[in-house]
């Protein structure tokens, strides 16, 4: 069985990449999440998926709660990214994804996972449309 880890190289940390993601990426809302994604042609032969989570301190006051939400979202993404991974590999593109929590109260892991799956399905549909146009 292949290990499902979220490596450091798969985290979106570069300010330039984050700015590009939010400036020219596609967006959507699956409440309580707002997501942005950018499909970019791979400059190397190795396509990759980079991911980040943001929780506003203005909406969720306690750092403990913000960290709990981020951990749940990262875990759900890590477990379910296989929904889009084969398409990224086949098309040889980079995928930058940013998910922002816009709710006021934390939600349980099961609900978080369902919402992340919906987000990944929507990204997958966009990737499939991109593939059919090529």
Segment among 12-16, 45-49, 101-105 with least mean pLDDT:
45-49
Residues sharing a CB contact under 8 Å with residue 46, sequence separation 6 or more, in sequence order: none
What's the rounded Cα separation, in Å, for the pair 50 and 41?
13
Of the pLDDT bands very low, low, confident and very high (cuts 50, 70, 90), residue 119 is very high
pLDDT score at 2: 58
- Give dist(CA 59, CA 39) in Å, integer: 29
Mean pLDDT check: name the lowest of 2-11, 47-56, 105-114: 2-11
Q: How large is the average pLDDT for residues 27-32? A: 95
């Amino acid at each position: 069985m292949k290990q499902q880890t979220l490596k450091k190289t798969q985290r979106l940390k570069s300010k330039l990449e984050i700015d590009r993601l939010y400036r020219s990426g596609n967006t959507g809302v699956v409440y309580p999440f707002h997501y942005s994604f950018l499909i970019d042609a791979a400059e190397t032969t190795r396509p990759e998926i980079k991911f980040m989570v943001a929780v506003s301190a203005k909406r969720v006051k306690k750092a403990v709660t913000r960290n709990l939400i981020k951990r749940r979202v990262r875990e759900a993404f890590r477990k379910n990214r296989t929904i889009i991974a084969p398409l990224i590999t086949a098309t040889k593109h980079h995928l930058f994804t940013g998910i922002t929590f816009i709710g006021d109260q934390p939600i349980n892991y099961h609900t978080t996972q369902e919402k992340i799956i919906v987000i990944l399905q929507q990204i997958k549909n966009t990737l499939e449309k991109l593939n059919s146009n090529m």
